[in-house]
Amino acid sequence: MPILPREQPEPSPAPPEESQRMATSFGVHAQRYDQARPGYPEALVARILAGTPGAGVLDVGCGTGIAARQFQAAGCTVLGIEPDARMADFARARGLQVEVATFEAWEPGDRMFDAVIAAQSWHWVDPVAGTAKVAGVLRPGGRLAIFGHVYEPPAEVAEPFAAAYRRVAPDSPISGQPARRPLELYQAGYAKIADQICETERFRDPEQWRFDWQQPYTRDQWLELLPTTGGLTRLHPDQLAEILDAVGNAIDSLGGSFTMDYTTLAATAARTNTP
């Protein structure tokens, strides 16, 4: 994954106040976010639904509804929970039911669900309180699925990006991260999530899934996606322009396009049949 987007579990999370500011920064350009961000492997959606007792899905941190719309298309009834009202409004305009709240503060009432999903959003949720809350809203046999993408651009793109970010935002708490990080780092994060699910004693043995795929990007497509990532959403326009110029030049040197290797990781478990 690139140096800056904090979109997967990490061993050393940012301070709570920094995390909250970043969590609500993605709605600045909700339309760009929705158009530029990739969806999720259909095989992942099918595998989640194959292990659920019904079609009622709760999407934690649904954003603009990228994952939620895929589950809708598969025949599910989806309720999204999203703390950023701008993202929620965008999702509603595309036919999703969304309630604005953090997951911890959200009031489910007596509503129950067959699946709870969190697509690149679980790192914004308190893992202990969040997992316990999920167990309380899942029907017996219902499935919790926490998943997200890991992606590392070629070094020829990642390194100029990292250098430009350090130059324009040297005081950022994440500017010291390496240009590229190993997949094993993120796999360890999902293993930790699986352990936290297990600790509740309200789920069957967690599983970890992996889906590998590729997506080509032109220069313009990648420069459209980059500003939607966590480390860039709060930069000044001049700072952002300098970073995009450096990355654009790097992609030009590759012939104007490159192929991204994606890995989608998931930690998932079914609810036990006991209270």
What is the pLDDT at residue 171? 86
Domain ranges of the chain: 16-153+179-215+262-271
**Does the structure show a pLDDT above 70 at 19?**
no
CA distances from 165 to 15, 141, 249, 260 (A): 20, 46, 15, 20
Cα(96)–Cα(85) distance, integer angstroms: 13
* Nearest Cα to Cα of residue 144 among 269, 1, 11: 269
What mean pLDDT is predicted for residues 110-136? 96
CA distances from 202 to 8, 52, 167 (A): 24, 16, 48
**Does the structure show a pLDDT above 60 at 59?**
yes
- Other Cβ atoms less than 10 A from the Cβ of 126: the count is 13
What mean pLDDT is predicted for residues 114-128? 95
Pick 16-153+179-215+262-271's CATH classification: 3.80.10.10, 3.40.30.10, 3.30.460.20, 3.40.50.150.
3.40.50.150
pLDDT tens string 179-234: 888 999 999 999 999 999 999 999 999 999 999 999 999 999 999 999 998 788 88
Under 8 Å between Cβ of 132 and 116: no
Cα(108)–Cα(198) distance, integer angstroms: 23
Mean pLDDT over the full length of the chain: 90
Cα(15)–Cα(5) distance, integer angstroms: 15
Query: For the chain, what percent of residues have pLDDT higher than 70?
Result: 89
Q: How far apart are the first and last CA of the chain?
A: 39
**Does the structure show a pLDDT above 50 at 177?**
yes
What is the pLDDT at residue 47? 98
48: CB partners within 8 A, 6+ apart: 115, 117, 143, 145, 268
Which residue type sits at 237? P
* Nearest Cα to Cα of residue 1 among 267, 263, 266: 263
* Nearest Cα to Cα of residue 117 among 78, 88, 175: 78
